[in-house]
Amino acid sequence: MTKKIALISGDGIGPEVTKQGMKVLEKLEEISDVDLEFEEFPFGAEHYLDTGELVTDEAKEELENFDAIYLGAVGDPRVKPGVLEHGILLDLRFSFDQYINLRPVKLLDSRFSPLKDKEPQDIDMMIVRENTEGLYAGVGGFLKEGTKDEVATQEMINTYKGVERVTRYAYEYAQKRNDEKKLTLCDKSNVLTYAHDLWQRVFEEVGANYKDVTMDHMLVDAITMKMVRNPEDFDTIVTCNMFGDIITDLGAEIQGGMGLAVSGNINPEGVSMFEPVHGSAPDIAGENIANPLAAILAAGMMVKELGWEEEGEKIETAVQRSLQNDYSTPDMGGNLNTDEVGDHICSILE
Ligand code: NAD
Ligand code: IPM
Ligand code: MN
């Protein structure tokens, strides 16, 4: 059955990398049962500067009819930081209640990790990031703004419902992911004695239903240390929105860089959105040197989540092969441009 995909290529390198992802998806359609229909939406800096519009209510109503959203990245130096990020990216994550952010950290080829002596089997974990609450909820404000007595607050919102549903998803994930069946809760319960006390209680409570999953706990500062020193200790990690943001950039680097890191914003009953972890990279935009592999892998994750498990797997295998062949962009030591890497992935699929 045809699945409808909304394409939001966005800003900076966003359109450059999603173009390659689209090419790969079209090739996959040619060689398999995958059947997709695309419609492009213009949201991003250019559209905002032209019209003053971010994502309108009408557009959101329309997006409800899609099976998934494929996003490049948003953010532009001409627009105040936060406007596009909140008005487009976070608005979509929140409006479609994409409460899970799945971010795999997987080393595809040992040559690309900056960590010494680490092999693919050592760096292979799934980070399950809460995606609609925490410090991202947008609650806070200024008191005595602009004075020397100013106080700025940003509250961390943690609801039982929000913590329970992402924790349950993470247990389910850990149970199915591999034989290790281990779930680590990453928090800061020694300081955030309200917010992360709730996380600890829910972690225990939900865990009672998953007796075959080993429960583990680590403070976020210790996790950053351990992800570098002993990444092999991690299997599935569940964490709050802000910590998930930070530790997945670290995860991206240990698996070979931002050019390879993938992100799925999931609503198991609704419209999910797939994107690279990286941003619009204004420093390299327009040069045709951005690494398209994260966007291509995000397309693979989308195909898998839409039910074509094996076909999505094919994209991952093709990416792995192209890395082994050193067909990569300069950020990974290669000498191909963005288009050429996309073409190469298509030729491997062929
Ligand atoms: P960034 O991820 O855009 O770039 C960080 C560094 O990594 C830059 O040096 C960039 O050149 C490099 N890089 C990133 N992706 C790359 C790729 N595919 N290939 C090669 N090099 C790559 O992060 P930033 O500079 O902090 O943010 C730039 C803008 O993007 C900001 O406006 C930010 O808010 C936004 N942003 C958006 C998203 C998103 O839409 N999902 C995510 C992160 C940042
Ligand atoms: C990410 C990004 C976003 C986040 C920003 C751009 C709002 O950094 O997807 O990791 O913090 O979630
Ligand atoms: Mn981030």
* Ligand 1 atom closest to the CA of 283, numbered from 1: 11
Mean per-residue pLDDT over the chain, rounded: 97
Question: What is the DSSP secondary structure assignment for residue 84, as one 8-state letter?
Answer: H
pLDDT reported for residue 201: 98
Cα 130 to middle of ligand 2, angstroms: 12
Classify burial at 229, counting beta carbons within 10 Å of its beta carbon; exposed 0-12, middle 13-18, buried 19 or more. Answer: exposed
pLDDT digits (tens, 9 = 90+) for 169-197: 999 999 999 999 999 999 999 999 999 99
* Ligand 1 atom closest to the CA of 284, numbered from 1: 11
Q: Three-class SS string for 147-210?
A: CCCCEEEECCECCHHHHHHHHHHHHHHHHHHCCCCEEEEEECCCCCCCHHHHHHHHHHHHHCCC
Instruction: Indicate the helix (H) or strand (E) that contains 4.
Output: strand 3-10
Residue type, 71: L
Which residues line ligand 1 at a C-beta cut-off of 6 Å? Answer: 13, 17, 73-75, 85, 89, 258-259, 275, 278-284, 290-291, 294, 331
Cα 258 to middle of ligand 2, angstroms: 13
pLDDT reported for residue 331: 94
pLDDT digits (tens, 9 = 90+) for 44-72: 999 999 999 999 999 999 999 999 999 99
pLDDT reported for residue 123: 98
Q: Write the residue with the smallest CA distance to atom 6 of ligand 2.
A: 85
Verdict on whether the full-model pTM lies above 0.90: yes
Question: Residue 136 catalytic?
Answer: yes
Domains and CATH numbers, the chain: 1-98+267-350 (3.40.718.10), 100-264 (3.40.718.10)
pLDDT reported for residue 212: 97
Confidence of residue 327 (pLDDT cuts 50, 70, 90): very high
Confidence of residue 200 (pLDDT cuts 50, 70, 90): very high
Residue 275: partners with Cβ closer than 8 Å, 6 or more residues away? 70, 71, 72, 73, 263, 265, 295, 298
Count of CB atoms situated within 10 Å of the CB of 143: 10
Question: Residue 50 catalytic?
Answer: no
Cβ(24)–Cβ(34) below 8 Å: no
pLDDT reported for residue 47: 98
Question: Residue 249 catalytic?
Answer: yes
Mean pLDDT, residues 15-30 taken together: 98
Of 35, 197, 221, 326, which is the active-site residue?
221
pLDDT reported for residue 241: 98
Count of CB atoms situated within 10 Å of the CB of 68: 23
Mean pLDDT, residues 94-120 taken together: 96
Which residues line ligand 2 at a C-beta cut-off of 6 Å? Answer: 85, 89-90, 245, 277, 279
pLDDT reported for residue 74: 98
Mean pLDDT, residues 247-251 taken together: 98
Out of 278, 329, 340, mutate this one to test ligand 1's pocket (max ligand atoms within 8 Å of CB): namely 278
Ligand with minimal distance to 280 CA = 1
Cα 152 to middle of ligand 1, angstroms: 27
Confidence of residue 222 (pLDDT cuts 50, 70, 90): very high
CA atoms within a 13 Å half-sphere pointing along the CA-CB vector of 348: 20
* Ligand 1 atom closest to the CA of 75, numbered from 1: 32
pLDDT reported for residue 313: 96
**How far from the centroid of its chain's Cα atoms is residue 132's Cα?**
13
Q: Write the residue with the smallest CA distance to atom 31 of ligand 1.
A: 75
Residue 97: partners with Cβ closer than 8 Å, 6 or more residues away? 132, 267, 270
How many angstroms separate the CA atoms of 250 and 253, rounded?
A: 5
Mean pLDDT, residues 280-294 taken together: 98
pLDDT reported for residue 321: 95
pLDDT reported for residue 263: 98
Cβ(162)–Cβ(132) below 8 Å: yes
Cα 74 to middle of ligand 2, angstroms: 9
Confidence of residue 150 (pLDDT cuts 50, 70, 90): very high
Question: Residue 245 catalytic?
Answer: yes
Confidence of residue 88 (pLDDT cuts 50, 70, 90): very high
